[in-house]
């Protein structure tokens, strides 16, 4: 049962254009969402997050949008740069026990930014 | 600030052998996680510690996997005996107590032949 889905395994965009990565979730208990970026042979690196009480969070070139009614979030990268080429994982968080949080990850989207 | 450290970075073993992975979390982080990431998939949680106590190990195959976090700092994940399907990257992550964001180490790539 995949609770977090990234339906596009890959995405290619031209340098300078917008990259839009999508993620859908099914569990209404998720209250916090994150995007991680992963380069080959490295661990995932935290990129940006959003709480379920917001619908948008922006950090430089990166913006995350959350549509709770549709259980959908997206990551926008503007403008895209070749260094953004990586695998992007969407993760959804909820409280598991006491104050401890757990994350459920999507399967990732390989972004390639073409020079 | 030093990140999450893991060793070894790569390990190749024969099936039925045993293997152990080590993790040192970010200083002061009370919560430590072990994930398994199979090629083409996202990380899957195996076990979660809060200080030196287990919070959740429901996804840990306990017949062959074990983990401990003595003194609430470093952690070791062991597989005994290994199977072919255990080939994956094993990721360690940590977060401050009650923190929303997890910080990952570089992972250990395990190949079981």
Rounded-to-integer distance, Cα B17 and Cα B111, Å: 12
Candidates B4, B31, B44; nearest CB to A100: B31
| Per-residue pLDDT tens digits for B59-105 | 999 999 999 998 889 999 999 999 999 999 999 999 988 778 899 99
Cβ pair A43:B102 closer than 8 A:
no
Which has the closest alpha carbon to A4: A99, A86, A73, A85?
A73
Cβ pair A101:B103 closer than 8 A:
no
CATH number of B17-95: 2.60.40.10
Which chain B residue shows the shortest CA-CA distance from A35? B101
CA distance A4 to chain B (A): 10
Q: Where are the domains of chain A?
A: 4-114
Q: What is the pLDDT, as a whole number, of residue B47?
A: 95
Counting residues of chain A whose pLDDT is more than 70, the rounded percentage is 95
Instruction: Provide, as residue numbers in chain B, all residues whose Cβ is less than 8 Å from the Cβ of A92.
Output: none
Transcribe chain A into DSSP letters: --SEE---SEEEEETTS-EEEEEEE--TT--EEEEEEE-TTS--EEEEEEETT-SEEEETTEEEEEETTTTEEEEEESS--GGG-EEEEEEEEEEEETTEEEEEE---EEEEEE-
Task: Using the predicted structure, report yes or no on whether residue A86 has a pLDDT greater than 90.
Answer: yes
Mean pLDDT calculated for residue range A34-58: 95
Cβ pair B42:A106 closer than 8 A:
yes
Q: What is the pLDDT, as a whole number, of residue A99?
A: 59
Q: What is the pLDDT, as a whole number, of residue B72?
A: 83
Q: Where are the domains of chain B?
A: 17-95
Q: Sorting pLDDT into bands at 50, 70 and 90, what band is A94? A: confident
Task: Using the predicted structure, report yes or no on whether residue A76 has a pLDDT greater than 70.
Answer: yes
Question: A interface toward B at CB cutoff 8 Å?
Answer: 4, 6, 32, 34, 36, 41-46, 49, 89, 91, 93, 96-108
Task: Using the predicted structure, report yes or no on whether residue A29 has a pLDDT greater than 80.
Answer: yes
| Per-residue pLDDT tens digits for B20-73 | 999 999 999 999 999 999 999 999 999 999 988 998 999 999 999 999 998 889
Q: What is the pLDDT, as a whole number, of residue B38?
A: 95
Q: What is the pLDDT, as a whole number, of residue B1?
A: 67
The fold for domain A4-114 equals Immunoglobulin-like (2.60.40)
């Amino acid at each position: 049962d995949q609770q977090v889905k990234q339906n596009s395994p890959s995405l290619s965009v031209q340098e300078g254009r917008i990259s839009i990565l999508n993620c859908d979730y099914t569990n209404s208990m998720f209250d916090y969402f994150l995007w991680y970026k992963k380069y080959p042979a490295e661990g995932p690196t935290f990129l940006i997050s959003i709480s379920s009480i917001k619908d948008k969070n922006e950090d430089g070139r990166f913006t995350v949008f959350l549509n709770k009614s549709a259980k959908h979030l997206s990551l926008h990268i503007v403008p895209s740069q070749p260094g953004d080429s990586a695998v992007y994982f969407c993760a959804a968080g909820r409280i598991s026990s006491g104050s401890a949080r757990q994350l459920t990850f999507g399967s990732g989207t390989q972004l390639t930014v073409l020079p | 600030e030093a990140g999450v450290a893991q060793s070894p970075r790569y390990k190749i073993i024969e099936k039925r052998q045993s293997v152990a992975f080590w993790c040192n979390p970010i200083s002061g982080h009370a919560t430590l996680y072990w994930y398994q990431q199979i090629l083409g998939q996202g990380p899957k949680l195996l076990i979660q510690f809060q200080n030196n106590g287990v919070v959740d190990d429901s996804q840990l195959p306990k017949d062959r996997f074990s983990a401990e976090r003595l003194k609430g700092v470093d952690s070791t994940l062991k597989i005994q005996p290994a199977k072919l399907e255990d080939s994956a990257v094993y990721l360690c992550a940590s977060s401050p107590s009650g923190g929303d964001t997890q910080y990952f180490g570089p992972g250990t790539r395990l190949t079981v032949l």
